[in-house]
A and B are shown apart, each in its own frame.
Chain A
Amino acid sequence: MNPPELSDVDALIADFVQVVERGQPPDPEELLAQHPAHAAELALFLRDLHQFGSFLGLSMHASELTTDFRPPGVPLAHPAAETPGERFGEYDLIEVIGQRGDGQGVPRSLAGTNLAVALRQVQPGSLGAAEAARRLREEVANAAQLNHPNLNAPRPGTDRAPPGYVILVHEAFTRGERSVPYPAGAPGRVLPYDR
């Protein structure tokens, strides 16, 4: 088999995709204008990216969530303090774990199921959504030393977030167990789920 055909177009596309991955606002029109000799091929790729970008996690609108719009030196605002027992969207708050620069961490139960979740509200701009998800996943696994077969990766829950926030949740399916391991500060700590 012949090696894949490499072209200037592919180098341009590589640069463009990496801009999108960094969460920077891409400018397709500028790309086409700067490279008129490849405009037709680039336009086809941009059309395909528009069609399938969300399937690949390469939304060209991702910058709305991942770009830091804060002026230098301006700290993040935090959502209003919540109290255990409070209902928040589809979640029941169990306990506030802590509040740090990149958001507020709380364990919650997912209403209507026996799912328990570790949840973090992340203000857009504090971290890229993908990076925040990766960090939450690592923190959950490391802090609680979890080895739970039903542990899921975090997922963004943007539909229930307060204005300006992205919710990341880490689900552990209890399957009828009475307790669920949680990243509650101390390694290996188990947070009772008996509410």
Chain B
Amino acid sequence: MGALEANEVGDHGDPLALEWFRSYLCALARIQFAARPWLAAKLDASDIVHETLLKALAAREQFRSGTPAEMAAWLRQVLTRTLANELRALGQQKHDAGAERSLEADLDASSWRLDDWLAADQSTPSEQVGRHERATALAAAVSALPPEQQEVVLLKHCHGLTLAEIAARLGRTPASVAGLLRRGLERLRKLLIEDNMP
């Protein structure tokens, strides 16, 4: 993962090392919550991430060694399982492997693209210190988009659908979807850059 450089975290069993990933995991969780409004109404992303980090700390022997990128991948697995467990606890009595695979796939795709976005940061190294905070701010900005723009952005980001596929799913023309995408990106820019959204 390009956004996570070697030697940025210390001993992987160190709670402080795990804590370093909190903002990153929060961003991933918030994007998943934005894509699933019914989930956001029942759970809090920061609580899920807190529980994820506690589970990771308790199970840190599972992660024997590796780079920060590998640790991030492992933490995403723990986050996915934590979310899946919460889904089951919310009344899905049966184990829904399909829904969990979908959740995992969405989380994975989301993390690759978020990492790509962070890695593409053109700022100076000193300005890149808050990369994970930038991820959190982007997730918050996506959550603040008008619903139709947010839906198009998330279908693109989480599911990787093409413009034509999004159009078919939403019953719109590709030009209409492109318009929502254009206005969505414009709004993201204003929220993140011009309004300096924290």
Show the binding face of A for B, using Cβ within 8 Å. Answer: 4-7, 9-11, 13-14, 17-18, 21, 44-45, 47-49, 51-52, 54-59, 90, 110-115, 130, 137, 147-153, 155-156, 159, 171, 173, 175-176
Contact = CB atoms under 8 A, between A and B. Distances in A.
A152 B77 CA distance: 9
B75 to A, nearest CB: 12
Contacts of A171: 73
Nearest to A16: B178
A151 B104 CA distance: 7
Place the interface of chain B in its size category: 35 or more
B156 interface: yes
A153 B105 contact: yes
Interface string B92-116: 0001010011001100110011101
B81 A4 contact: no
Given A45-B185, A152-B104, A155-B108, A113 B63 contact: yes
A18 B179 contact: no
Contacts, number: 135
Interface string B113-150: 11011011000000000000000001000000000100
B188 A52 contact: yes
Contacts of A113: 62-64, 66, 70, 74
Q: Is the interface of A mostly helix, strand, loop or mixed?
A: mixed
B16 interface: no
B178 A10 contact: yes
Give the dominant DSSP class at B's interface: helix
A173 B120 CA distance: 29
Given A59-B116, A147-B97, A17 B163 contact: yes
A92 to B, nearest CB: 13
Given A10-B179, A13-B182, 11 more contacts: A6-B179, A7-B179, A14-B173, A14-B178, A54-B113, A55-B138, A112-B64, A114-B64, A115-B74, A137-B105, A149-B81
B2 interface: yes
Contacts of A110: 70
Contacts of B105: 137, 152-153
Given A4-B180, A55-B113, A173 B77 contact: yes
Interface of B: 2, 62-67, 70, 73-74, 77, 80-81, 84, 95, 97, 100-101, 104-105, 108-109, 112-114, 116-117, 119-120, 138, 148, 153, 156-157, 160, 162-164, 173-183, 185-186, 188-189, 193
Given A112-B70, A130-B160, A153-B108, A56 B182 contact: no
Contacts of A52: 117, 185, 188-189
Q: Which of B97, B162, B177, B182: most chain A Cβ within 10 A?
A: B182
Contact of B2 (A13, A18, A56, A159): A159
Nearest to B121: A54
A15 B62 CA distance: 47
Nearest to B105: A153
A152 B108 contact: yes
A-B residue pairs, 9 tightest by C-beta: A112-B66, A48-B185, A14-B178, A10-B179, A153-B105, A54-B116, A55-B117, A14-B174, A112-B65
